[in-house]
Structure 1
Amino acid sequence: MSRVISTTVYLSDELSESAREKARAWYCEEGGLEYEWYDAVYEDFIQICNILGVRLKTRTFTTTGGRSHEKTCIWFSGFCCQGDGACFEGDYRYQPGAAQHIRKHAPQDEVLHRIADELQAIQQRNLWLLQADIQHQGRYYHEYSMHITVERDSPIGQQATDDADCVLSDALRDLARWLYQQLETQYDWLTSPEAVDEALIAGGYTFTETGQRLG
């Protein structure tokens, strides 16, 4: 014989603290971050790359429904394992005024200022002719999974300075590290108790008295 069993459900702010912790854990691990929460970080990074002279590559993907769309070649893994990080694919050329423009875009970000200054200095020593190709290699996503080829586009075949490869590659890898730090900061905020509690209430999620998701 069938029976109807009723269960009282609660919003997260009606739960005890221990039950609320379980509700938060469900949101962070299973329910809450299934959307592309990193889009705003990516958009800002693309703008920063344009300022610095990095043109990010895109790839075309086909969805299960047969529709095609392009995605910028940015990847990351995180945020709790050794080897986590971020990387990108693209090409770099000298961008006039990058050091000034990046300070206007991000006046308080000393890391970006330093990267822009390093790029400008190494370009100046090479008569503004350095260029780099950036390719992702391997299964992992971090700054050292980027294979960076540096050359001097000299019309008379003049070689790059001895430090060009190292300085330019290090600056581009520092840019990937900067991206990862922004992603980690955003993730930490979105999974903080304050942000999760706000999202649980806004979403109207309901739970049992012990904090198990139901409803």
Structure 2
Amino acid sequence: MRILLVEDDRKAAGLLARGLQEEGFVVDVAHTAEDGDEQIVGVDYSLIVLDWLLPGKEGVAFCKELRLRGIQTPILMLTARDGLMDRLQGLNTGADDYLTKPFAFEELLARMRALLRRCKLTQPAALTVADLTLNPLTHRVTRRGAPLVLTPKEYAILEILVRHAGEVVSRTRLAELVWKADLIGIDNLIDVHVSNLRRKLDLPGATPLIRTVRGHGYCLIGGEE
């Protein structure tokens, strides 16, 4: 599951990110609300862990903006403020839970997992495009009911394309989301992975699903155009 951690204390953010990665989470880190806002574009996060006291725009204001824009991703607010009115303010602006600093890492994990379980109960697990089904919780992918064996990078690319079916996803965006780096020769690397992914997806007699938009990127289509 992909988590966005918005924390301005770089040392604390690094420690939390490493701990969460060891627990199996994919963690993106932002140090300001503005940076967090940029990272949210085009990414379907499972959870946002948001510090209240951020430079510039405070976390509580960022949380309120996200809810006004219709973003329903669960938000866990972190703060040193422990007064009743502070907790109420955080929850009333759209946070789903509130954890006071300092906290034990185990409690953070427990609260995150509780929010994720709650979210799973209200959201469909499987994503479907035409005869392709992808389950973000289990990473199981099938086409026409037949299971497909994908590498981690192939799966990551496919999930992004599925979540943006019908839209063109640029190579730059894939590089940012899958490799999280501006690598030399990244376009060729992406092309190789997409080519391998196509071979696995396009079963005999099946409609090709991934279309190359020359000069722009890739688009997952739902059937005949």
TM-score, normalising length from structure 2?
Answer: 0.28
Higher Cα radius of gyration: 1
TM-score, normalising length from structure 1?
Answer: 0.28
